[in-house]
Each structure stands twice: as structure tokens, then as C-alpha cells.
Structure 1
Amino acid sequence: MLQSAQIARRQSEIRQQLAELAAKDSPGDDETRQMDELDREYRSNESRYRAALVAEDDERREAGAELETRTGSEWSTLVGQFEVRQAALHLDEGRALDGATAEVVQELRSAGGYRGIPIPYEALELRAGETVASGTPDPVTTRPIIDRLFPESVAGAMGARMVNVPSGQQEYPVTTSNVSAGWASSETGDVAGPTAYATTDRSLKPNQTLGIQMQLTRRTMKQAAGIEEAVRRDMRGAIMQEMDKAVFQGSGGSGEPLGVVAGASTYGITETAIDATASWSAFRAAVTRFLTANAAGSPGGVRVLIRPEVWDTMDAVIFDDGSGITEYDRLVGTVGSVNLTSNGLAAPVGSPVESNALLTTTAGGQSPIFVATWGAVDMIRDPYSDAASGGLRLTGLVTMDVSVSRTAQLEVLTGLQ
């Protein structure tokens, strides 16, 4: 019990005893002496009570700060020990979850509703080593499983900000007004008038759901080599591939979010038609537009996203015959980063064959693109499709959305031949 609570209880007992003694018409010498002693103790306890409250308040503050720090670190530790294998076995055989995996699942379920087993996105990261129990008999040496080939995510490389929303929707107010400044034309003249502070709300809504299906045979579930890491990598790669495609090419219909390049006109992003062979001068002009609009402080703050075919064309054209520097070398040597993708941008079409490119920049610490995910991956079992063979069919549901911040931080180049 807290010291303050003990003192408060004793004070209540003293008041009760004093009330009984004070009710007597003619108290004796012993009773008078007892009242004096109780009165002195009561006054002494008042000082002790105030001191105990001060000390306990400091202890509470220290404990609260420790709890806040410990909560974040403990969650990271638990997620680091999360085993996707346990989730799969729970859905397949009904095996009980234990350890860190059980704690993470319980915590996620308390924060939101899931039909199956919730899997945190952090658990899909690539890990070194295996999380398979040691000592498991394995009579046949099984080589590491070869993963499917997925492109590395380019959304993050282009400055997209990943946001995880527990529930509901989120809005990001982005400043769109310009502050006016001007000199007084005379001693009594007025300076420039005020400009209204205006913002535009960029909303992220949980209206799009991505599904990832995985099929595990009975033999796969029983073998002891590499399943945990293979499942994690395969899920991560599938989500990454579709997320990159949706961020840039999403149609905005048929359940897809509206992508940055495909929905440039809807977002109000500047689209510049090049309609000529891809060259450094076309990208240089776009970088100049960023600089004049104060969207970038230097060419090094601009990121570029192109198709491999555009790289092939630019790298084959010599910019300076004497030095052997190509058009692509000039681009790479000037801008902040050049990212190649065959998944984030549509394949070249037309005659002559033409492609698009995207340029982004981060202005004032504000990311050009928002990519939101809700909660965790909801892992659901299909008990019927593979029941005859004893296999396990899993479906992972991911809710996500895409939006942009300031349109001045993005530009699309079209007609790169």
C-alpha cells in the first residue's frame, strides 16, 4: 500500500477516536492526555501526508516515462520474435499460439477486428537466419528455397511516406497559399496586404483492399528447413510488387487506388509532353521548373523514375564525343537519384514507342506521396479448396490508399521516345 494511503487511513482512525473522546461531558485525566497525544499525531501526520504525496508523484512520473519508453521497445522486441510459421500452423492444425507470437496477435486483435490471424507488417521484413526450433529431425538435406523474383520497392525511393492508420480515415492539411511581401512605396505608404492562409486536405480512406493468396502443401508444412523465411519473403514480395504498381499505375477503379502517374490529371499534377527522343535536356527543363517554383533547393533534391527502355535509349546516346559521357550519365550525375522500374510505370506503347517518367521532390520536409495501410495483414484460412490433399490455402488482406501532397512537388513527362 502507498505511504499516503496508510497515513490517510490512520488520520481517519484518529478523527474517529477524537470524536468519541470529545463526546464525553467530563473526560478524565487519561482521556484528556490521550486527546492531546492524538492531536499531536494528527498534526504530524498532515506534514507526512503532504510529503508522501510529493514523493509518490515523482515516482509516478518516472514510472510513466519508463512505461512509455518500455512499451515501444517491448513491442519492437515482440514483433522481432513473431513467427509466421506459428500463424500458418494455427490456421492449418489449430495449434495454439505461444510466446511473442501469441502476445502480438492478442495486442493487434484488441486494437481492431480481424477475421483471421493478424500479422504486423514489421514481421514481413527480411531477417537473417531461421526461426525454426533446433533439434528438429530432418533426414534429408534441404537446400534454401529460391524465392520468386520481385522488383525492389521504388515508392520509398521516390520519397513516398508510408503511414499506418489504426482505424478510420486520416487527412493531411497541406499549405497551398502564398505569403505576399512588398515594400512601402513612400514614407506613409502601405506595405503589401495580407494573404489568406489556405490549406488543402489530402484524405486517405480505407476503401481499397489487396488480397494475397498462398498455397502450402502438407509436405511443405511438415518439412523443417526454410519455411518460415520463405513464407515471409514471398508475402513481402507480393505486397511490395502490387503496392508499387498501385502507387504509380492504380486506375482508381475496380478496387484499385488512384495512382500518381495514371491519375496525374485528376490530382492536378503537371504533365509535360516531350514527344521526342529521351534526353538530358528534357529532364533538365523539368528540374528547372522545380527550382523556379521553389519546390526544390537544388537539382540534387529531385528524384527521377524511368523505365529500363528509357535508360537503354539515353545510355546509347553520347552527350560529349570527346569525353564519352552519355545522356544518361548527365542525368545521373545531376539529380538526386534515378530509379528504374518495369513495374511502377506502364510498358512503352505506340509508334514510335513512347514511355512516361515521374519526377518528385521533398519540399520543406513534406513528402510528395502518401501511402497508407490500415492495421495489420489479416491472414485468413480457406479450409475447403485444398482439403482433399491436406494442403493449406491462405489469403492475406491488406487495406491501403494513395494520395499526394503538393502537386508542385511532382511532374510527369510523357512521350519519351
Structure 2
Amino acid sequence: MNSLEITEKRNITLQKMQDIVNKCKRELREMTEEEQAEFNAAKAEVEMLKDELAKLKEKLAGYENEVSETEQVKQDEIIEENKRNKQNKTMKEFRLLNAINSIVNNKPLTEEERSFIAKGEKEMRDSGMSYAGQIQLPVSETRATIAVGSEKSTVDVNTENILEALRGRNILTQAGAKFMTGLVGDVQVPCLNGAQVNWEGETDTTADGNASIASVKLQPKRLSCYVDVTKQFLMQTSEDAEAVLRQDLINAVNQKLESTIFGTGEGSTTEPSGLFNTSASPTLVEDFSDLCDLEATIDGSNVLNETKYILANNVKAKFRCTPKVVSSTTGTSATATVASGAIYEKGEIDGVEALNSSNVTANYFAFGDFSNLAIGQWGAIDIIVDPYTKAADGMVRLVVNAYFDIKVLRTGAIAVGKIA
């Protein structure tokens, strides 16, 4: 028998022994003669299997020493590797902190680090984007397989996909926006602008439904931001420090992306337009009836998916203390003002989920079907490691470049509002 068969048989025999003990415990009694004999026989078999497994391990160790006296491999690892039939395989994790620290100190990157970054470089080339940094974080997948060592053993490089974490943090993706990655060049996104459906006779010619398919062009625009990190922090090796660095990069990209989308910029060839630009003509909302009128414009567009609100923080604050309806009631000795609830209550406005962010321009908010808003992303995340600009302060500047574009796919799917 091989080691797997021995281990399996030993586990089955141990279970038999446990079953006998469990039965006696449930019935609060001693073992019968028959049970005692069966228990002792099983115990002897376990000892025999244990000895057989030990002899097999010793023999395998002897074989290993004959192959190479310099290799010291634990026998448990040999058994596990034989079971999986993946010998000479190890797990290594790409650490962004280590790579940055090596660049700052003019040390060569390891082969696995270079291979991982090469994936990001390929993503940039495939998307047609240029890059200037020493590190390109790939965004297409979370695991890469590379070859290292004199015998080119297989190595798994495991790293968190930074773009996935960015999606999870971005408030628009929470609202249902389309997030498209791996784009190449300019992208035309088709958008069906409705169709007319008619009743026709059995043999009548079907009338033209007047459906039209328009398209919205997404073009890559460079988003650039930076994070300053102390040299002492870069020397850390803990997983917590790695997570802090990654989160700082994600926060920097997300803050710039959200503040642009929820801004008032008119847009240009280098920057997407904001939802609240002057051509958007935001509705001035002073009370609940104004809000109902704004909702009616979206309802009139026949949106099919769930609608949501996205608010600036001060808009949320105002709606929390603004009653929907105010009325007066007069008693025998006084008149009281009665409010039937606030506009914003328990994370909702009029039963619709309301999200808020400090990245939304003050006084503004948006309402509608955000699945009609597309966020396009091209290539990898390009990081320039700059040890000079903040050298006098003992810091290293990480300049992040990424390529995005944002467009509303369907006119009338998202309405914007403003408070006084």
C-alpha cells in the first residue's frame, strides 16, 4: 500500500474505535466482551499501520538522500506533493513594499517581481497606453504563474487585484455603474434608445418600431495622483503595512475618480466631464415636492433597473432635518407644528437607497439608474517611485497613473439636483 492508502485505512479503523466508545458513552455502560475484542483488534491494526507508515517514510527519506544529499525536504511535504503530483512547487507572494524598497535603494528586483511587473507592462502595451513608472500592477487577474530557478520550477505569485478593491470602494459601483476593464483604444458602447411596439393583424406588415441604437465613445484619459510614504515605513515587512500601502493607493485613485465624476467640470480631451457640469441644469430642491418632481423626470424616462440617490454629505445633513410635510394642529390652549417624517431617514429617501460621499461636490446630488453610467479602464496601474522630490523630509513619493473615462450612456437616466 502507498502512504495515502495506509492513512485512509488507519483513519477508518480509528473511526471504528471512536464509534464503539461513543456508543458506550451514550448508553453509560462498559464495553461488552465482543466490543472489547473488536476495540483491541482495531487498536492493534492502528499500531501496525502506524509502523508501516513510518517505515515507508523512512524508505522515502532514503530515496531522497540518494537523489540529492544537499536537498532537505520534510517528509510530510513530500507526501502532500506526491498526492497533488506537483513536485518542486512553492508559494510566493508579490509584496509591493519590497519592490518599492528595492527601487529606492537601487537594489535589483527579484525574478518573480520582474515577472509579475512584466504582466502589467504587457497589459499597458496591449491597451495602447504608455507608461513611465518602474512598477506596473496588472489588473486582469489575481494570480500569475512564472518560472524561476535553474530548473525553472513553477511558482505561483499571489497578489490582491488592486482594481477589485477600488471597485468595492467606489460609490458608483455600489450604485450599479458599469465598470469595464481591459479596454483597448477608443471604445464605442452601444445604447438602445427604445422601441415602439404595435398591435398588428395576422398578415399585416409589421410597422417600423422606430428603435435606434446610438453609441457613446469612451476614450482613455490619464488620472494621476500621488502618495507620500516615509522611508521608515517602506522598511516594514508585515502584512498590515502592505495592506495600509495598498489602501492608500486605492484611496488616492478613488478620491480623484469620484471627485471628478461628482464634480462640475465641463470635461475635455484630458478629463471626463462631471455629472454636475453647467449643461446638466441641476434642479433646485427646496422641499419634498421639488424632490418628487425630480423623481418624476426619471420615471418618465422608463428606466428598467433600480434607482438610487447619491448625495453630498451636506445634502444628506439637510435632508435629515427637512420634514416631508409640515402641518399645524390647534388644541384648546396652543397650536403645534406636526411633521410627517424627514426626507432622509434610515439611509433612504422616499424608500429609495441613498448613498453619500465627501467626494460629491457640496450642495449637489444625483438620482437615477446608475447602470446607465459606464466607467472604462485601460491597462495596468502605473507607479513611479520618486525618492528625490521629498528626500529632505525622509519620504518617497509614489506617483500613480491610471487611465479611465466616464460617460452616461442614456440621456434622461440620471437626474441631478442642488440645494440652496
TM range (shorter): 0.5 to 0.7
Structure 1 residue 99, shift from structure 2 partner: 7.1
Structure 1: gaps of 5 or more residues: 1-77, 128-150, 266-270, 348-354
Shift of 1:331: 8.7
1:244-278: CA deviation from partner (whole Å, max 9, x where unpaired): 0112214414832112222654xxxxx4633x524
Is 1:124–2:124 an aligned residue pair? no
Distance 1:384 1:333 in 2: 50
**Which residue does the alignment assign to 2:260?**
246
Match of 1:220 in 2: 233
Secondary structure at the counterpart of residue 172 of structure 2: coil
Please name the residue that 1:413 is paired with.
417
Contact 2:344 2:350 in 1 (8 A): no
Query: Cα deviations across residues 297-339 of structure 1 (Å, max 9, x unaligned)?
Result: 6xxx210122232222222233467685222239926443101
Q: CA deviation at 1:390?
A: 6.5
Q: Which moved more, 1:102-111 or 1:396-405?
A: 102-111
The whole-number CA distance in structure 2 between the counterparts of 1:111 and 1:253 is 25
For 2:262, what is the secondary structure of its paired residue?
A: helix
Q: Which residue of 1 aligns with 2:190?
A: 173
> Aligned residues, how many?
289
Which residue pairs with 1:378 in the alignment? 382
Aligned partner of 1:200 in structure 2 is 214
1:341 maps to: 357
Give the Å deviation of 1:159: 2.1
Write the distance in 1 (CA, Å) between the matches of 2:282 and 2:388. 52
1: CA distance between counterparts of 2:121 and 2:389? 26
Give a deviation string over 1:181-206, Cα, whole Å, max 9, x none: 1455xx99x56621354211111111
Shift of 1:100: 5.6
Cα 1:293–1:331 shift into 2, 3 Å: farther
State the AA in 2 paired with 1:397.
N
d(CA) in 1 for partners of 2:316, 2:120: 44
Q: For 2:278 and 2:317, locate their aligned partners in 1 and report how far apart those are by CA, in whole Å.
A: 26
Q: 1:136-285 to 2 correspondence within 5 Å? A: 153-183=170-200, 193-206=207-220, 208-224=221-237, 226-249=240-263, 250-253=265-268, 255-262=270-277, 264-265=279-280, 271=281, 273-274=283-284, 276-279=285-288, 281-285=289-293
**Within 2, Cα distance between the matches of 1:81 and 1:224?**
12
Alpha-carbon distance between aligned partners in 1 of 2:392 and 2:314, rounded to the nearest angstrom: 47
For 2:175 and 2:273, the matched residues in 1 are separated by: 17
- Cα distance in 2 for partners of 1:310, 1:211 equals 29
- For residue 138 of structure 2, what is the amino acid of its counterpart? P
Gap change, CA 1:222 and 1:309, over 3 Å in 2:
closer
Residues 10-65 of structure 1: CA distance to partner in whole angstroms, max 9, x if unpaired? xxxxxxxxxxxxxxxxxxxxxxxxxxxxxxxxxxxxxxxxxxxxxxxxxxxxxxxx
Residues 137-161 of structure 1: per-residue CA shift (max 9 Å, x gap): xxxxxxxxxxxxxx95322133222
CA-based RMSD of the aligned residues comes to: 3.4
CA contact (8 A) 2:124 2:380 kept: no
The alpha-carbon distance between structure 1 residues 341 and 389, as it changes in their structure 2 partners (threshold 3 A), is closer
C-alpha separation in 2, matches of 1:327 and 1:199: 38
Equivalent in the alignment of 2:303: 295
Alignment partner, residue 62 of structure 1: none
What is the alpha-carbon distance in structure 2 between the residues aligned to residue 292 and residue 236 of structure 1? Answer: 37
- Which secondary structure state, in structure 2, belongs to the residue aligned with residue 171 of structure 1? strand
1:212 aligns to what SS in structure 2? strand
Change (3 A) 1:201 1:108: same
Structure-2-length-normalised TM-score: 0.59
Indicate the SS of the match to 1:157: helix
Which residue in 1 is equivalent to 2:341?
A: 325
1:64-105 deviation per Cα after TM superposition (whole angstroms, max 9, x unaligned):
xxxxxxxxxxxxxx9x94321132123212434447644421
Letter of the 1:343 counterpart: N
Q: Kindly, what percent of the aligned residue pairs are identical?
A: 19
Q: Is the 8 A contact 1:159 1:360 kept in 2?
A: no
How many Å separate the matches in 2 of 1:228 and 1:197?
Answer: 52
Contact 1:218 1:389 in 2 (8 A): no
Could you tell me which residue of structure 2 aligns to residue 361 of structure 1?
369
Deviation at 1:232, TM superposition (A): 0.9
Residue 399 (structure 1) shift: 1.4
8 Å Cα contact 2:183/2:376 also seen in 1: no
The 8 Å contact of residues 180 and 192 in structure 1, kept in 2 or not, is answered as no
Instruction: Indicate the residue corresponding to 1:35 in structure 2.
Output: none
Alignment of 1:36-115 (within 5 A): 81-98=93-110, 101-113=113-125, 114-115=131-132
Could you tell me how far apart the structure 1 residues matched to 2:346 and 2:323 are?
Answer: 10
TM-score, L = length of structure 1: 0.60
Structure 2 unaligned spans of 5+? 1-90, 126-130, 140-159, 326-336
1:171 CA displacement? 1.4
What amino acid sits opposite 2:342 in the alignment? T
Q: Distance in 2 between matches of 1:308 and 1:393?
A: 30
After superposition, the Cα gap between the structure-2 partners of 1:163 and 1:393, relative to the gap in structure 1 and judged at 3 Å, is same
CA distance in 2, matches of 1:238, 1:214: 7
Aligned to 1:33: none
Q: Which has the higher strand share?
A: 2
